[in-house]
Chains A and B, each alone.
Chain A
Amino acid sequence: MILNKELAIQTHDLHKDFGEVYAVRGVDLAIKPGEVFSLLGPNGAGKSTTISMISGLLKPTQGQATILGHSVTRNPQAAKALIGVVPQEIALYGDLSARENLLFWGKMYGLRGNALKQRVDEILTMIGLSDRQKGRVEKFSGGMKRRLNIGIALLHKPQIVIMDEPTVGIDPQSRRQILDSVMELNRQGMTVLYTTHYMEEAQELSEHIAIMDHGQIIASGTHAELVRIVGELDRIELTLNAEAERVLEAWQQVPGVKNIAAENGQLHLLVDDSNTVLPLLFESAAQASVRITSVEIQEPNLETVFLHLTGRALRD
């Protein structure tokens, strides 16, 4: 591995095995300072395991990870001091108040005295919990807990923030607030490593995206570079009034169909040109006595890329 101290996060040939389970297999990342980098992939793709290794929670079975040149295995304390981690699950002390939580976690990041109190006040303002700072966290709504969960990671003004699916299971309003806060942090100069299985979030937030599946990076680049992988293919989503199996085999033979995936009663197709392929699909369905109840044609996007590369929809 050629160590590049200018990179915010660098991984080389990162592997993690849990016995016979190979969670991560040879992940290489190079994240520049000041960028928002998204790790996109379905559940179980290995995103959380990868960031657990980068943040020093898990020891890689093989390979290396560095934070601004500090090895997370050889110099973990220095590396950890540079990052703030927002875990996927809310990790707070419910029986303490929001302020008590922030004070405690601030101390864990080495803050003391007035500097700590001042920073806690700033964070409380930033996450909009100043008026609820003395309330016990267990009484907070899900959105408030999520914001506090993020606030803790920002206490020590880290150069890098690692966020592991911070928008899972929350309402659209809180989700919007979180996405806005990520962009705000980035504007302030922070590097953000963001994992998600929501294509729209990766597309909105990131300049660079790595798509992960089965423990490997299967594609990486800017949004435009990734979309270019699928070329001019159109993506069609169809809903049928019958089992997909009744038309699946016939449709795979239709000229222009490149890929078909069935999921949750929907069919996802990658085709050369939707204008020419769609009539053929309707005709084939009619012959099988199956009615197409809805059709949606999409421009190529990250979802299309994932379908093209894996043969599966991203939300599998």
Chain B
Amino acid sequence: MAITETDAVIIGAGPCGLFAVFELGMLNAQCHLIDILDKPGGQCAELYPDKPIYDIPAIPSLTGKELTDNLLEQTAPFNPVFHLNTRADALEAMDDGRWKLTTSTGDEFITRAVVIAAGGGSFNPRKLPLAEAGRYVDGKGLSYAVRDAQAFSGKRVVIAGGGDSAVDWAVALTGRAAHVTLVHRRSEFRAAPATLAKLQSLMEAGQIDVQVGTILALHGEDHLQSVELNTPAGAIQLPCDELLAFYGLVASLEEVSSFGLTMRNGRVAVDTSNFETSLPGVYAIGDITDYPGKLKLILSGFHEAALMAHHAIQRIHPQARNTFQHSTTAMQLRLGKEKTTC
């Protein structure tokens, strides 16, 4: 429940949020970043870390992970503070013109500039689309993430999904759980080669069962007792104490929508001369914005970050002279490098 006073708070540590750190940092503003994911990079790190991106100016091709790593290196001199696994929940105007942002961890940030760089919204696990699923969450047998691996000790665990999370946890919980069954719609899995090899050896040793199929229904009175599957051989019932469902993440604009901002086509409306929203001192950049001619490109988000920073700095440091500096000079000073001679 910490209270932090800072120059700017950036919601979303994707490419636009990270570049906002650079632009604000060049103008001597200190930034804190809040992101619901467990790592910086946003969609680039979560959805397509290994996929190539071809439309970053002067970089013919790089992957989502490389883009993130490069941005982290580029912003490191400005010492951004990351608050990961954290959701921005509420925004409240203070009497002195500043904003108070409250997060899912109960922490509060007091700031003159809030920058919403939340892309498609906050990422949450996709829920099982079964009417009865809601009855089994909160400790009654159905989870979408592992908070405490101890909770699975001695349990009959069914893990649904075919990606990294499903395979990683199937391997990790083997030995701890009484039994692990991995349920997937096909027999191919996508995970790191070493993990896939481990899965294969655990399957051959009979320590993990892999069942091709999809979940049809959940059964149990007060707590999950079995999972009904549709398999190539017909419907079957699997006894189950704990079901872990990993169907990836879905973006939600629920929290941002609650901030009281004027929206446009379901996105945040902004003034394109400075990327301020309908609330003074609250800015929005990147995919979360909508304005005439908007393009959802990373390079557009970078441009939006620059215009935002030059306006926001007048709120953050009203007395300071907002001089435009070429990065060549400013970064040499910051990085302590020798000035190049011409």
Is chain B a partner of chain A in the same complex?
A: no
Residues of A bordering B, CB below 8 Å: none
